[in-house]
Amino acid sequence: MISPSLTPYRRNSPGFTLVEMLVSIVIVILLVGMMLSISGSVNKTWHYANLKIEEFKQSRQAFSTMTQRLSQATLNTYWGYNNPSNPQYYIRLSELRFISGPWNGQGSPPGPQLTNGDPADYPTHAVFFQAPIGYTANSDYQGLNHLLNTWGYYIEFGSDQTSTPTFFQSLSYYAPRYRYRLMEMMEPSEDMTLYKHTSGYKTVPPPTTGSVLNCENYTTGEWYQDALNLSPVPAHVLAENVIALILSPQISPTDVANGGPPFVYSIAPNYSYNSHQSTTSISTGTTTGSTAKSTTQNDLPPTILVTMVAIDESSAQRLAAQNGTNPPTAISNAMAGLFTQAINYQSDLTALEDSLTKANVNYRVFTLNIKLPNSTFNGLLQYSGN
């Protein structure tokens, strides 16, 4: 009988060889490495997506605020004689105003006029209007939530020195930040100068004599320029890194009185809309020359397509490093010649996006067609064309 201690070693006994152990360890290390790599990629993607959401959070909030305020625009219209001295018919009247479109550096409306500053610092469009917002700087008027205000939105390029506390500017590491910004002009109710220009009557000199309401003769833009010419301007930054604001007043097919193509009409072919104009040409969205005429005097557009383009802070920092105190060349070049004709809106927007992409600029486009409930638009007076 053989003793158990002398039992010979069997090669097929359970266990792992050193080579098998090493191979197993290598496989485990590779699997762990792959899992860590995948986890890192997922985490990086999530972090980037979250960063992008936070990056444009201010822009989203500003866009929401702007469109909400814009929908409150009012003209508070009424009917009056065409000429108090020799009345012949009734016309729609209003002392209030609504004006939007490309900034007009000189001349007269229809576009908002830019009276101060370099037009290059104020790109794309602007809008000014009255609304019952109830904003006041006088504590005696607090609680009167429906007081009228003159309100407005525009893009401005410049430094943040005016909004930075003086003590912070004195710090050695402070440096002005040059950015595009969406500005919100808020004129307190007690400072509103509109009625100074539009109230009362004006004597008409020969050969046409008589007296007419000032609201029918007043065509200039002091009602919002008075506020813009103040120092400081009663405006604040609503959002940084907003490079474009496009405003396209429109009417829908349901507003067409005398037929026409079944698509949305632009009530401002060159984007300029002034509620004091008596009539306006309406683009039918084709290049065949179809036109129409509408009475827009003392009336709001039924809807307005609002588009805002914002870039992220990383792109803004890179552009600022390249251009210093000047508006970024990449942005100026990308917007050159765009958004002057409403019929080219979509192609212009596509061209802007392509230019920003080629310049490696991260951007976000916000678009909303909002309804102006206080519009009393009553359709086209005539329609002609294809």
303 lies in a domain? yes
Residue 248 belongs to domain spanning: 47-384
Least confident of 4-13, 48-57, 156-165: 4-13
Which tokens is 211 given? 């007296």
233 lies in a domain? yes
Number of CB atoms found within 10 A of residue 363's CB: 19
pLDDT digits (tens, 9 = 90+) for 133-164: 999 888 888 778 889 999 999 999 988 766 55
What is the pLDDT, as a whole number, of residue 324?
Answer: 83
Least confident of 9-13, 20-24, 85-89: 9-13
30 lies in a domain? no
DSSP class of 10:
P
Q: What is the mean pLDDT of residues 246-264?
A: 62
d(CA 102, CA 52): 30
pLDDT range class, residue 24, cuts 50, 70, 90: confident
What is the pLDDT, as a whole number, of residue 386?
Answer: 36
DSSP 84-97: TTS--SEEEE-S--
Provide the domain count of the chain. 1
d(CA 130, CA 146): 11
pLDDT digits (tens, 9 = 90+) for 100-122: 999 876 444 567 877 666 777 88
CB 106 within 8 A of CB 219: no
CB 234 within 8 A of CB 187: yes
Burial (CB count within 10 angstroms: exposed 0-12, middle 13-18, buried 19+), residue 259: exposed
pLDDT digits (tens, 9 = 90+) for 310-321: 999 999 999 999
Q: Cis bond leading into 207, ω under 30°?
A: yes
Cβ neighbours of residue 119 closer than 8 Å, sequence gap 6 or more: 103, 105
What is the pLDDT, as a whole number, of residue 252?
Answer: 65
3-state SS assignment for residue 181: strand
d(CA 75, CA 153): 18
What is the pLDDT, as a whole number, of residue 263?
Answer: 43
What is the pLDDT, as a whole number, of residue 78?
Answer: 87
Which tokens is 160 given? 């943040």
3-state SS assignment for residue 152: strand
Q: Determine the longest span between alpha carbons in the chain, in angstroms.
A: 145
Q: What angle do CA 342, 348, 353 make, to 5 degrees?
A: 145
Q: H helices then E strands: how many in the chain?
A: 9, 17
What is the pLDDT, as a whole number, of residue 348?
Answer: 95
- Amino acid (1-letter code) at residue 320: A
**Total residue length of the chain:** 386
Phi, psi dihedrals of residue 186, rounded to the nearest 5°: -130, 105
1 lies in a domain? no
Q: What b-and-e string marks burial along 97-110, b requiring 16 or more CB atoms within 10 Å of the CB? A: bbbbbbbbeeeebb
Nearest C-alpha neighbor of 249 from the set 264, 268, 265, 270 = 268
15 lies in a domain? no
Distances (CA, A) of 137 to 34, 141, 163: 62, 8, 18
CB 131 within 8 A of CB 69: yes
Which tokens is 133 given? 């917002």
33 lies in a domain? no
Strands (E), the chain: 78-81, 90-93, 98-102, 125-131, 149-158, 179-187, 201-204, 210-213, 235-240, 242-251, 265-266, 273-274, 279-281, 291-295, 303-311, 363-371, 382-384
The torsion region of residue 166 among left (phi > 0), alpha (psi -120 to 50) and beta comes to alpha
CB 282 within 8 A of CB 270: no
DSSP class of 64:
H
d(CA 303, CA 373): 9
pLDDT range class, residue 385, cuts 50, 70, 90: very low
Q: Find tokens 């026409």 and name the residue.
A: 260
Distances (CA, A) of 337 to 124, 286, 345: 10, 20, 12
What is the pTM assigned to this prediction? 0.78
158 lies in a domain? yes
355 lies in a domain? yes
What is the pLDDT, as a whole number, of residue 118?
Answer: 73
